[in-house]
């Protein structure tokens, strides 16, 4: 019974992560989790990270 509860909790956590990722991609964020995700001009590569590294 305890194992079932743990598995259900893990399934809810993983499910909520997947829903968050799906919604973020649907909103058009290219770099999910990046605070500048909607401001990036390039797809798949964050320009902000490159600028921060060079400074």
Digit-by-digit pLDDT tens for the chain (55 residues) are: 899 999 999 999 999 999 999 998 888 777 777 776 666 665 556 655 555 555 5
Distance CA 34, CA 52 (A): 13
User: What pTM was estimated for this model as a whole?
Assistant: 0.61
Distance CA 52, CA 18 (A): 29
- Look at the chain and report how many structural domains it folds into: 1
Distance CA 6, CA 3 (A): 5
Question: Domain range holding 44?
Answer: 2-54
DSSP-assigned states of every residue in the chain = -HHHHHHHHHHHHHHHHHHHHHHHHHHT-SSTT-TTGGG--SSSS-HHHHHHHH-
């Amino acid at each position: 019974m305890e194992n079932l509860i743990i598995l259900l909790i893990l399934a809810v956590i993983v499910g909520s992560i997947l829903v968050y990722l799906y919604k973020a991609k649907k909103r058009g964020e290219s770099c999910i989790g990046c605070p500048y995700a909607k401001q990036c001009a390039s797809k798949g590569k964050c320009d902000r990270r490159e600028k921060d590294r060079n400074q």
